[in-house]
Amino acid sequence: KRIAMQLEESPLQTLPSFLEMLADSRAKLNNMMPRWWLACDYEPLARSEDGLAWELRGQGVQVKTEDSLVSDDGSIKAVAGRTNPIATRWAEQMTRQYDELSREAAVFGQLRNLMDISVIAALVRKEQLIERAECPLPTLTGENNDFTLQAWNPPKTVATQCSFVKRNREFLITASGGVQIDNWQVASQSQVSPRVAEVRNENPHVGGRWWW
């Protein structure tokens, strides 16, 4: 969102800010306030017939956008399903270039990894894979109290930031977004794929190995 709001320089020359794209257009502002957020974008998971082999498929991360309307009294109302065409174009452009962006800014690759891990965790719990494999993992599941995770002090407040464009009597204000991870929904959608079973059979389990 900071890249879209032109508060941070884009690491890619092919991904200008939303405000730069808007400046090159003649679009009406209409007192709209577009926002962007990152969400999961997976195809149905591929699985073997017995449910012992799985594959994540799809882009993984998608940039979404939606408009809010700034009324005459200054209040902000969400406009469900309504999007600014240029904001939509910017979101689609960032989604297409997400791989390249991840190579330039590690945080985007880290977010995709976090989404993948979240989906896998939901899948393991939903399909009871730990129980089916008869492989208890008390340290990973938090049942082992002998292992303490390092804790951080997250900020309770952060400074508000915005950017805007004014044309005549109309304003366009760029607002913040966030990250939406609906890992359980992703884990609930799957399709049987014979190829996944073939890959598993080509890589049989070797006795005596532990974890890797």
pLDDT per position as a tens digit, 14-35: 999 888 887 777 766 665 677 8
pLDDT per position as a tens digit, 36-83: 889 999 999 999 999 999 999 999 999 988 875 555 555 555 555 567
Quote the mean pLDDT of the chain. 83
Helix (H) or strand (E) holding 173, with range, is strand 170-174
- All residues at 6 or more sequence positions from 65 whose CB lies less than 8 Å from its CB, including other chains: 34, 35, 36, 37, 83, 84, 87, 88, 90, 91
| pTM score of the predicted model | 0.81
Residue 211 Rama label (left phi>0; alpha psi -120 to 50; beta): left
Q: DSSP for 86-105?
A: HHHHHHHHHHHTHHHHHHH-
pLDDT per position as a tens digit, 136-177: 888 777 777 777 778 889 888 887 777 777 766 766 677 667
What are the backbone dihedrals phi and psi of residue 65, each rounded to the nearest 5 degrees, phi first? Answer: -145, 155
- Of the candidates 91, 78, 127, 72, the residue with the CA atom closest to the CA atom of residue 17: 91
- All residues at 6 or more sequence positions from 32 whose CB lies less than 8 Å from its CB, including other chains: 67, 68, 69, 70, 79, 84, 172
Locate 25 and state its tokens: 């257009």
3-state secondary structure at position 186: helix
